Amino acid sequence: MDSSLPQIRVSHSDITQPECCFSNVATYRTPKMDRYIPNRSLNDLEKSHHYFVENRRGFQKILNFSTYSIPSKINTDFLNLTPAKVARKVNTQSFLVLDAPEIEKNFYFNLLDWSESSMLAVGLGKEVYLWNLKTNSSYELNTSPRETGGIVSSVRWISDELLAIANQDCVELWNVNNRKCISTFEHTNKVTCIDVNDRILTSSSFLNNKIFCHDYRTKTKIAEYSSADTICSLKWNPSGRFLAAGNSQGTVEIRDINCGLRNAEVYATLNKHCSGFKALSWCPWQNSLLATGGGFCDKKINFWNVYCSKKIKTLQVQSQVGSIVWSKQHREILYTDFDDMVICKYPSMDKLAEINDHCDRVINAALNKDEILASLSADETIRLWNVFQNGPKRTPLSVKKLDCFQNIR
């Protein structure tokens, strides 16, 4: 042992009493020592751990938020609730107004129709006007010089080039590109109803209770049907199998051409209306569903399943129904109730919107392939609507004249 190092004397009492060791630490540690080894008994870690555990038992656990116990069974019925459906918002403002002077205010006339290319044909007096929605261009068809003359009572597009025009005693087929009449189909009385099924041009006169079917390509008459009373409306269903004809006695005759056009017989007779009616419309997404709108004495819309000749439901309205239009995008239907237009969901018939911008009775309403609605009213205006579209608003409201198509405000 090196005698040069200082001698440290530690007594037995210093070892047994840690306090003395800690107080006299300077007596046994010198700067030349390489490390310091503390006395672990001074930290008293075991005692501290004991106090920590015992004190914690007296407090609630952190995740136990409430003082009462958690129930064994939790009601989870709210997890199965489905969110309530929000009703579709209908745009009830027209985006374009056309002035329609000299309009014939006859309830049974059909003076408005869209083509596949969104060309709108309108019959005003003895003239027919065409307006293109895409190009915003228009022109007069110049039908006055025709030999038959008379007031236009119905218009119906056959294709983008061919337009059928009915007047007092015939149906004329016009090529709108050449602005020429290419065919004439004679009647014995005023023609009010025209419809097309493939190559078959179907028309009816107002007073002689006859329905004629012509092949407009060969210009020949294929079939002729007789009705029990005056024909007020005529419409083929989307599949082309059934022809519905409504008469002035409130009866709808359904003819089935499944066995041929010449041999078509009355498939069903629907007679729940108490007055004559004009509104007749087939559902575009269900071939057997037919909607019929009654006149002023009836004031109701009936929905029929043609296959079983059964009335599905009835909707009571406020006045006579001028037109019925089905939406292809939505399960909805629009009908004109005098000067109002009402949109309802089908089949619940919950009212979504009621539009009353027209000042007089709405004579016709037609829908193009893009679901843009055109309404023709006795107030001598044509209004265009986006009632079935949820997209952005179109151009601001403007007014144009059909005779010269100039902005008037």
d(CA 308, CA 304): 9
Question: 1 versus 132: which is more confidently predicted?
Answer: 132
Q: What is the pLDDT of residues 286-330, one digit of tens each?
A: 999 999 998 888 889 999 999 999 999 999 999 999 999 999 999
Same domain, 114 and 211: yes
In a domain, 161, yes or no: yes
In a domain, 364, yes or no: yes
d(CA 163, CA 175): 7
d(CA 336, CA 357): 12
Residue 111 in this model has a pLDDT that exceeds 90: yes
Same domain, 166 and 98: no
Residue-wise over 93-116: b if at least 16 C-beta within 10 A, else e?
ebbbbbbbeebeeeebbbbbbbbe
Q: pLDDT confidence of 4, banded at 50, 70, 90?
A: low
Same domain, 215 and 111: yes
* The pLDDT value given to residue 408: 27
Q: Tokens 């969110």, residue?
A: 83
d(CA 402, CA 140): 9
d(CA 164, CA 204): 13
Which residue range forms the structural domain that includes residue 99? 89-105+321-409
Number of helices and strands in the chain (H, E): 4, 29
* The pLDDT value given to residue 379: 94
Same domain, 95 and 135: no
Residue 51 in this model has a pLDDT that exceeds 80: no
Among the candidates 163, 193, 226, a domain finishes at: 226
Question: How many domains does the chain contain in total?
Answer: 2
In a domain, 43, yes or no: no
Same domain, 119 and 94: no
In a domain, 62, yes or no: no
Same domain, 204 and 99: no
* The pLDDT value given to residue 158: 96
Residue 244 in this model has a pLDDT that exceeds 70: yes
Same domain, 123 and 155: yes
Among the candidates 203, 226, 249, a domain finishes at: 226
Q: What is the pLDDT of residues 281-291, one digit of tens each?
A: 999 999 999 99
Q: pLDDT confidence of 49, banded at 50, 70, 90?
A: low
In a domain, 239, yes or no: no
In a domain, 112, yes or no: yes
Q: pLDDT confidence of 171, banded at 50, 70, 90?
A: very high
Q: pLDDT confidence of 87, banded at 50, 70, 90?
A: confident
| CA contacts within 13 A on the Cβ side of 116 | 5
Same domain, 221 and 325: no
CATH code, 177:
2.130.10.10
Over residues 56-75, mean pLDDT? 49
Whether 168 and 185 have beta carbons less than 8 Å apart is answered as no
Q: Tokens 């002689």, residue?
A: 208
In a domain, 172, yes or no: yes
Q: How many CB atoms lie within 10 A of CB 137?
A: 11
Same domain, 124 and 136: yes
Q: Which residues pair with 231 in a beta bridge?
A: 247
Residue 134 in this model has a pLDDT that exceeds 80: yes
* The pLDDT value given to residue 207: 76
Same domain, 334 and 406: yes
Residue 398 in this model has a pLDDT that exceeds 60: no
Among the candidates 195, 226, 257, a domain finishes at: 226
Provide the percentage of residues in the chain whose pLDDT is more than 90: 56
Same domain, 101 and 171: no
C-alpha triplet 187, 106, 132: angle, nearest 5°: 85
Q: How many CB atoms lie within 10 A of CB 214?
A: 22
Same domain, 140 and 184: yes
* The pLDDT value given to residue 45: 66
Q: What is the pLDDT of residues 246-285, one digit of tens each?
A: 988 889 999 999 989 998 999 999 998 888 889 999 999 9
Q: Can you read off the two tokens belonging to residue 275?
A: 């007055």
Q: What is the pLDDT of residues 139-152, one digit of tens each?
A: 898 766 555 568 99
Q: Can you give the C-alpha Rg of the chain in angstroms? A: 43
In a domain, 335, yes or no: yes
